[in-house]
Amino acid sequence: MNLDEEQRKKVPQWVEQGLKLSEIQSRLASELGVSMRYMDVRLLVDDLKLTPKDSERAKAIQSPLAAPAATTAPKGAPGGKPAVAAQKREEPAGAAAGGISLSVDQIARPGAVVSGKVTFRDGNTADWYVDQMGRLGLVPQQAGYRPPAAEVQEFQMALESELSKSGF
């Protein structure tokens, strides 16, 4: 997307205010009428040689070598796969507002840029992934399970927050 000079001057102001990329994306749409994908906003900020303040926190994340590896399957996972669990270290994000919890795999599943697990309020779990095209996918443990739309939205916000801490 091409922004005019006046629109380009707004973005550094928003970054200085400490807005996240998703918030900048929302402001571009609401205030300037410019619809951009998240990745386009990320590239715009990079082109303007700006550093969002939330990415400074991502650098402070502890080294993966310092934490012990998880070797047990999560509760409710049918049969757990010890070989897969030994390859992955999960970083619990804790329970997000509303009781949704998620974790990020240290080693992404094949075909994914990043992946992990989510537990919804009703106790159902699903594997999630983001592919190379930036598409989010959910693979529920229980066949045919579809989480409520409100919980999916909460999951997406919690996921965005967790991934921003990891530098995504």
pLDDT tens per residue, range 118-153: 999 989 999 999 999 989 999 999 989 999 888 999
- The span from the CA of 164 to the CA of 168, in Å, is 5
Residue 98's pLDDT is what? 52
Q: How many CB atoms lie within 10 A of CB 106?
A: 16
pLDDT tens per residue, range 90-123: 444 444 445 789 999 999 999 999 999 999 998 9
